[in-house]
Amino acid sequence: MLSCVGYAATAADAPLKPFAFDRRDTGPDDVRIDILYCGVCHSDLHQARNEWQNTIYPCVPGHEIVGRVAETGPSVTRFKAGDMVGVGCMVDSCRECTSCRDGLEQYCETGFVATYNGEDRHGRGITFGGYSRAIVVDQSFVLRVPDTLDPAAASPLLCAGITTWSPLRHWKVGPGQRVGIVGLGGLGHMGVKFARALGAEVVLFTTSPGKVTDGLRLGAHEVVLSKDAGAMAKERGRFDFILDAVAAEHDINAYLDLLRRDGTMVQVGAPEQPLPVSVFSLLMKRRSFAGSLIGGIPETQEMLDFCGRHNITADIEMIRMDEIETAYARMLRSDVKYRFVIDMATMPQAA
Ligand SMILES: [Zn+2]
Ligand SMILES: [Zn+2]
């Protein structure tokens, strides 16, 4: 076993602190990764604070992992020591159901194994995530990170990136389409970059006048302030596709009205309470309202390769491991442009 140090929450109301634990030995199909960077996802905070009422403590969050391969098992063919690799939200799945066979492991019918707070299929209890020095993962759930990308700025691609990429690809967003992105945060800023790079005409919707300049810099052709009723009215019926990345309570019907006939709006932000949907708005123009969860392993690799070709990464703020609680507090105020990333060199050597 590999002794490892991470940062863990030990209770819903306790700050994260150093935590010593073991990783499994590198098995035949395993890749052992020395973690260099880990992005800070809003899910990390929900889980650490038990806001979904399913956290098992101690909890080591982190599922936007980038690092170098330190060791590979004898059956590993696709990776070798020294490779830059990534691990996202999943570390295993059943691999037999139709979703797994289709490369959509996030919809595994028996449930995928989450990178942290998941039930380990190697008989080791609960999985521990990327706020740690190292991780051991089956090669089927390890991604290649193009060498041309800054590895720190690439780490948010593993969750924020794929969460926005997957629906844009599934609904075939591309040239000739007018695409709306709702909300400019960790997810939304990736949505803007991807939709632009895929050739769509991109409109960002935000409540913050302070984000207009950034929206344009990140690739939006236009920015609409969603509190401006006049500006919203002008956009009615003009969109082929809208990606809604807002997790807070908000009026989705204001956006459904912006879709043209047969347009689709996809929710990737996850508000806690059910949202009222105007069925009239859907049926008058045969509109669709859908959801989408992260993305499968093949499409995550496709996204990373696309990012390599187009030089796309997240806009990040690097933090030290011991700054995580401050980062969480700032995240709650949406005070981050646009993702915190932990420099794992700042992880203590011992707990
Ligand atoms: Zn995430
Ligand atoms: Zn499955």
CA distance 328 to 259: 35
| More confident site: 313 or 124 | 313
What contacts 124, CB < 8 A, 6 or more positions away? 24
Give the distance (Å) from ligand 1 centre to CA of residue 187: 9
Judge if pTM exceeds 0.75: yes
When pLDDT is cut at 50, 70 and 90, the band that residue 122 belongs to is: confident
Instruction: Please check whether residue 281 is in contact with residue 258, taking contact to mean a CB–CB distance below 8 angstroms.
Output: no
CA–centroid distance, residue 301 to ligand 2 (Å): 19
| pLDDT band per the 50, 70, 90 thresholds, residue 118 | very high
- Using the 8-state DSSP alphabet, how is residue 12 labeled? T
Average pLDDT over every residue of 134-161: 98
pLDDT value at 7 more than 80: yes
Q: Which ligand has its closest atom nearest to the C-alpha of 42?
A: 1
Instruction: Report residue 292 as tokens.
Output: 């989408």
pLDDT band at 351 (very low <50, low <70, confident <90, very high): confident
Residues with beta carbon < 5 A to ion ligand 2? 93-94, 97, 100, 108
- Dist. CA 78–CA 85, nearest whole Å: 11
Residue 311, pLDDT score? 97
Q: How far is the CA of 136 from the centre of ligand 1 (A)?
A: 19
First to last CA, the chain: 17
pLDDT attached to residue 121: 86
Of 135, 93, 33, which Cα lies nearest the Cα of 293?
93
Q: Which ligand is nearest to the CA of 103?
A: 2
Give 238-259 pLDDT, tens digit per residue.
Answer: 999 999 999 989 999 999 999 9
202 DSSP β-pair partners: 179
Report the pLDDT value the prediction gives residue 310, as an integer from 0 to 100. Answer: 97
By the 8 A CB rule, do 151 and 86 touch? Answer: no
Looking at per-residue pLDDT, the higher value among 249 and 79 belongs to 79
How remote is the CA of residue 113 from the centroid of ligand 2, in Å?
10
Report residue 259 as tokens: 């879709």
> What's the pLDDT at 46?
94
Gap from CA of 107 to ligand 2 centroid (Å): 7
**pLDDT value at position 255?**
98
- How far is it, in rounded angstroms, from Cα 281 to Cα 138? 45
Cα of 45 from ligand 1 centre, angstroms? 10
Distance from Cα 39 to the centre of ligand 1, integer Å:
8
Asked if residue 124 has pLDDT above 80, the reply is no
Mean pLDDT, residues 40-55 taken together = 95
pLDDT above 70: percentage of residues in the chain: 100
pLDDT of res. 348: 94
Do the strands 178-182 and 288-291 form a parallel or antiparallel pair, or are they unpaired? Answer: unpaired
Ligand nearest to the CA of 45: 1
pLDDT of residue 196: 98
**Mean pLDDT rounded to a whole number for the chain:** 97
- The three-state DSSP-derived secondary structure of 120-166 is CCCCCCECCCCCECEEEEEHHHCEECCCCCCHHHHHHHHCHHHHHHH
Q: Please, which pLDDT band fits residue 210 given cuts at 50, 70 and 90? A: very high
Give pLDDT tens digits for 157-209.
Answer: 999 999 999 999 999 999 999 999 999 999 999 999 999 999 999 999 999 99
Predicted confidence (pLDDT) at residue 271 exceeds the cutoff of 90 = no
| Whole-angstrom distance, CA of residue 202 vs CA of residue 188 | 12
Q: How far apart are CA 117 and CA 48, in angstroms?
A: 10
Asked if the model's pLDDT at residue 123 lies above 80, the reply is no
- Distance (Å) from CA 65 to ligand 1 centroid: 11
pLDDT at 227 over 80: yes
Question: Environment class of residue 175 by beta-carbon count within 10 Å: exposed (0-12), middle (13-18) or buried (19+)?
Answer: exposed
The alpha carbon of residue 205 and the mean position of all alpha carbons in its chain are separated, in whole angstroms, by 20
**pLDDT 10s digits, 285-336:** 999 999 999 999 999 999 999 999 999 999 999 999 999 999 999 999 999 9
Report pLDDT for 10: 97
| Residue 237 backbone class (left: φ over 0; alpha: ψ -120 to 50; beta: rest) | left
Predicted local distance difference test score (pLDDT) of residue 270: 86
Q: Angle, to 10 degrees, between the axis of helix 160-170 and the axis of helix 186-197?
A: 40
Residues 6+ apart with CB under 8 A from 117: 47, 54, 55, 56, 59, 61, 126, 127, 129
Tens-digit pLDDT profile for residues 82-96: 999 999 999 999 999
The pLDDT value recorded for residue 110 is 96
